[in-house]
Amino acid sequence: MANDLAAISVDDLTEPDATAELTRLAAEMADHDQRYHQDDAPVISDAAYDALKARNAAIEAHFPALIRGDSPSRKVGAAPSSGFTKVQHSVPMLSLGNVFDEADVADFYARVRRFLGLGEDEQVDVIAEPKIDGLGFSARYESGRFVVGATRGDGQVGEDITANLKTIQGMPDMLMGPAKDVPKVIEVRGEVFMTKANFQALNTAQEEKEAKVFANPRNAAAGSLRQLDPEITKSRPLTLFAYAWGEAEPLDWDSQQDYIDRLKAWGFSTNPLTRVCTSVEDVLTAYTEIGEQRASLPYDIDGVVYKVNRLDWQQRLGFVSRAPRWATAHKFPAEQAQTVLEKIDIQVGRTGSLTPVARLTPVNVGGVVVSNATLHNEDEIARKDIREGDTVIIQRAGDVIPQVVQVLTDKRPKGSKAYAYPSTCPICDSLAVREEGEAVRRCTGGLICPAQAVERLKHFVSRNTFDIEGLGAKNIEGFFEDGTIKNPVDIFTLEKRNANPDNLTPLKSREGWGKTSAENLFTAINEKRTIGLDRFLFALGIRQIGQATARLLAQAYGSLPALSEALSTAQDRESDAYADLLNIESIGAAVAEDLLGFFAEAHNQDVLDGLARELNIEDFDAPDTDSSPIAGKTVVFTGTLETMSRSEAKAGAQALGAKVAGSVSAKTDLVVAGPGAGSKLKKAEEFGVEVKTEQEYLVFVGKA
Ligand code: IVH
C-alpha cells in the first residue's frame, strides 16, 4: 500500500494516508541517515534525499496534528555513533535553509530587509562562498591552544575527534599571531574534505588492499575522520576550510569578512572563491560563476552559501528553528540526461540480497559517461513501473550511483511488459524470499550459492565457529576458486579426496603446499570434527542466527536431529512446533522465517546431511558454571571490543552463567570497557563498579 501512497500528491492525501506516509518517510529517512552518517555509504543522491525531506515537510504543513515525535524535520544530521566520546556543543551547530532558484534568492533578500526594517535602497552585503561537500567540524581553542574537536553529530552533541583533527595538516595546534589577537576562547568551525585526486588515489590503494572502497570524496573524508584509531586518519589525505565560529570570547569582529581575515591570520585556510556581493544580481552572478568552475575545482562542492556580512545584522536576524535567518544554501541542481534502459540485471550480494541494476545505453551526464544506474529494490521498480526498453531520465548527483528518476511512458515501445522480479536466485536458482516488512529479497541458497559461498565458508572456519587453523580467508578463497572446496562438506572430505589415487592434483603437489603442510592441514581439520550444537548452528551462517540465538536454539532443542525434526514440522505455520519456535526468547517471526527458509531449502539439507556424516555434533550441554568467575554476576560491555563482537561477548558471558545488561547501575558487578567507552564507564566509576579492559576480562574468565 505504502508504495501507491508515495505516488499520491500531498493535496490528495487523506488523514490516514498521511499518517502512513509520515511513518514510511520517517523510517526510510532514518535508514538513509544511518547509511549516510554512520556507515558512510549512502544509496541515494542528496537530491533524492531532499525530495523525501520536502515531501515530509509538505505533509506536515498540511497535517500539523500528525507530526511525529521522531519526525525527520526535527532532526539535524544524525546522532553521534557509539564508538566516540560525546561532546556537547556549547553553541549548537545548525544547518542551513535552502533556496532553489532566483525567486527564492530574491525572497531571502526581501526577508532579511523586512526583518531588519531596511529600505529598498539600503545596501545589504552578502558573502557568497562554495558549499563544500565534506564534513562539518568544530575545533575549540582556549588561549590559542587547540583543546577539543568534534563532529557536528545531531547539532547538539557531536563525537570527540580531537586526536583525529590534530593529524590534519592545516589544523593549527596553536593559533598564530600576537597574543592580543588571539581570543580567550574560540570555536573555529568549517569543513573537512578530501580532494577528488586524493579520493581517487585512496580508492585505488584500498582496492589493491582489498579494503573498503568509498562511494565519493565526502564518504571517504567521513570514513577517514571518524576512525577510532587516529593513525588511520593521519594516513589519509584530508584538507579543511574554516568559515564559521561557535563560542567566541571576545567576539570582536564586525563582519563575516572580518572573521575570515582573522581565520587566515590564525593560520587556517579559507576558501579563495569567497566574495562579498552587494545585490541580488551580484549574488546570482557569484552562483553562476562558482557553478561554472564546479567541475574543474579540485574538490566537490554542492552549492553556494550566502551569509549576511554584517555581524550586528546577523545577531538581530538570529535563528528560526534550526537554521540561521541570516544565511542560506543555494544548491546546484542534479545533472540529468535521457537514455534507454536496455536491461535490468539482478546482482546477488555476499549476504544473498538481490539488487536490481539498470543497464543503460551509455550517455554523458555532466561530463561523466554513465552506463549503469541503481534501481534500489523491487518496490521502486514496481512503483515507477520501470520496464526493459523504456526511455528514462537518469540523474547523477555528487558521486553517488546514478539513479532513474523518471520513465518517459509516451516513448515506451509497443508490447512492453511490466518487469517481473525474479523469485529465484539468478546465480544458484534457489528460492529468493522477501520477508514481511523488508525491502530486500534474499537468496536462500546460503551454503551453495556461489555469490555467498566464499563469505559463508570464511565464517564457517573462523574463530568463533569451527576455528580451523591453517584454513584462513586466503586459503578458503584459493580453494573456492579452483573448486577444491565449494561448500562446508568439502572441507571434511578434503583428506579422503586427496588420498584417492585418481586425484591428479593432490594438495601436496600444488604450489605453496608440500607433504607436511598438507598433512598439518588435514590434522587441523580432523581435530575439529567434534563440535557443540550451538557452535555448529552459528557456523551455518544463517541470516539473523548469531551466536546468542544459536545458543538459545541449541538449548531449546538439544540435538541436531531433534532440531531438524522440529523445524520440519514447524514449516507448517499452524503447527505447535511453529508456536514453540516463536516461544524461544529472541526468536520472532522474522528470525523464524530465516531459519525455516534455510532448513526448507533442499541444497542446504544436502549440506546438513553431508556434515552430519562427517562430524560428531554434540548435543547441547548446559555449561558448567561452577568454575566460572562471573556466574550469577551482572556484566556490562561498553566501548569498542577488539577480539569479539558485542553479541559474541554477550553469548560468551551468558555461557559462563553471567547476566549481560545494557546499562550500568548499582547492581552491575563488572564493566568491560573497550576504547571509546563513554558515559557507561563514567557511571561505573560513580557506582564504584569494577572495570576491566577486554584483555583483562578474557584472562579473568580464562578465555585469553
Ligand atoms: S555555514 C550557521 N558555510 O553545510 C551556519 N556551511 O547545511 C553554519 N557547509 O553542516 C553553516 N560549506 O557542514 C557553511 N561554506 C559553508 C559550508 C557549510 C559546507 C556545510 C556545513 C553544514 C551544512 C549546512
Q: Name the strand (E) or helix (H) holding 27.
A: helix 15-33
Query: What is the distance between the alpha carbons of residues 557 and 566, in angstroms, rounded to a whole number?
Result: 8
- Decide: 150 and 138 in contact? Cβ < 8 Å: yes
Q: What's the half-sphere exposure (Cβ side, CA atoms, 13 Å) at 595?
A: 28
Enter the C-alpha cell of residue 103. Answer: 525567486
CA of 317 to the centre of ligand 1 (A): 18
Report which of 1, 3, 20 is spatially closest to residue 386, judged by C-alpha positions.
Answer: 3
Contacts for 644 with CB less than 8 Å, ≥ 6 apart: 464, 652, 694
pTM of the complete model beyond 0.85:
no
> Residue of the nearest CA to atom 22 in ligand 1?
95
Letter string b/e over residues 78-88, b meaning 16 or more CB atoms within 10 A of that residue's CB: bbbbebbbbbe
pLDDT value for 145: 95
> Residue of the nearest CA to atom 13 in ligand 1?
136
Closest ligand 1 atom number to CA of residue 94: 2
Query: What is the distance between the alpha carbons of residues 259 and 245, in angstroms, rounded to a whole number?
Result: 9
Q: Name the strand (E) or helix (H) holding 616.
A: strand 616-618
> Residue of the nearest CA to atom 15 in ligand 1?
131
Class of residue 283 by CB neighbours under 10 A (exposed 0-12, middle 13-18, buried 19+): buried
pLDDT value for 594: 87
Question: Per CATH, is 634-700 categorized as 3.40.50.10190?
Answer: yes
pLDDT value for 79: 52
Supply angle C-alpha 455, 359, 453, rounded to 5: 10
Closest ligand 1 atom number to CA of residue 190: 13
pLDDT value for 2: 40
Q: Name the strand (E) or helix (H) holding 47.
A: helix 46-62
- Decide: 367 and 377 in contact? Cβ < 8 Å: no
Backbone angles phi, psi at 302, to 5 degrees: -120, 15
Supply angle C-alpha 64, 66, 71, rounded to 5: 95
Query: What is the distance between the alpha carbons of residues 602 and 421, in angstroms, rounded to a whole number?
Result: 22
CA of 303 to the centre of ligand 1 (A): 10
Each residue's pLDDT tens digit, 26-58: 888 887 877 776 666 777 777 778 788 888 888
Query: What is the distance between the alpha carbons of residues 32 and 43, in angstroms, rounded to a whole number?
Result: 7
- Decide: 700 and 692 in contact? Cβ < 8 Å: yes
Closest ligand 1 atom number to CA of residue 271: 15
pLDDT value for 399: 52
Note if 131 is an active site residue: yes
Alpha-carbon dihedral angle through residues 305, 310, 315, 318, given to the nearest 10 degrees: -30
Question: Per CATH, is 86-331 categorized as 3.60.15.10?
Answer: no
CA of 213 to the centre of ligand 1 (A): 26
Distance of CA 656 to the CA centre of its chain: 33
Report which of 227, 201, 203 is spatially closest to residue 213, judged by C-alpha positions.
Answer: 203
CA of 137 to the centre of ligand 1 (A): 10
Query: What is the distance between the alpha carbons of residues 215 and 197, in angstroms, rounded to a whole number?
Result: 14
Distances (CA, A) of 346 to 206, 372, 613, 679: 26, 12, 36, 45
- Determine which one of 53, 131, 212, 331 is catalytic: 131
Q: What is the mean pLDDT of each run of 10 residues along the chain (704 residues)?
A: 69 86 87 72 74 86 80 64 81 91 94 92 95 95 95 90 92 92 95 93 84 82 88 91 96 96 96 96 96 89 96 92 91 88 89 90 79 90 94 79 90 94 92 85 84 86 89 87 90 92 80 87 94 94 87 90 94 92 85 91 90 94 75 89 80 81 89 88 91 92 82
Strands 690-692 and 670-673 come out as parallel
CA of 95 to the centre of ligand 1 (A): 7
Query: What is the distance between the alpha carbons of residues 197 and 339, in angstroms, rounded to a whole number?
Result: 29
Closest ligand 1 atom number to CA of residue 274: 15
How many C-beta neighbours within 10 Å does residue 431 have?
A: 17
Is-cis flag, bond preceding 250, omega within 30? Answer: yes
User: What residue ranges line ligand 1, CB within 6 angstroms?
Assistant: 94-96, 129, 131-132, 136, 152, 191, 243-244, 305, 324, 327, 329
- Decide: 248 and 179 in contact? Cβ < 8 Å: no
Q: What CATH number matches the domain at 531-618, 3.40.50.11720, 3.40.50.720, 1.10.150.20, 1.10.760.10?
A: 1.10.150.20
Can you list the alpha helix ranges (DSSP code H) found in 471-559? 473-481, 488-499, 515-527, 533-539, 547-557
> Residue of the nearest CA to atom 23 in ligand 1?
95
Report which of 457, 503, 508, 500 is spatially closest to residue 480, judged by C-alpha positions.
Answer: 457
Distance of CA 490 to the CA centre of its chain: 35
Residue 299 has what DSSP assignment? Answer: S
Supply angle C-alpha 67, 73, 74, rounded to 5: 85
> Residue of the nearest CA to atom 1 in ligand 1?
244
pLDDT value for 334: 80
Alpha-carbon dihedral angle through residues 171, 174, 180, 182, given to the nearest 10 degrees: 40
Residue type, 60: E
The structural domains of the chain, with segments of one domain joined by +, span: 86-331, 468-527, 531-618, 634-700
Report which of 424, 450, 465 is spatially closest to residue 551, judged by C-alpha positions.
Answer: 465
Task: Output the furthest CA–CA distance in the chain (Å, rounded).
Answer: 98
Handedness of CA 453, 456, 460, 463 (dihedral sign): positive
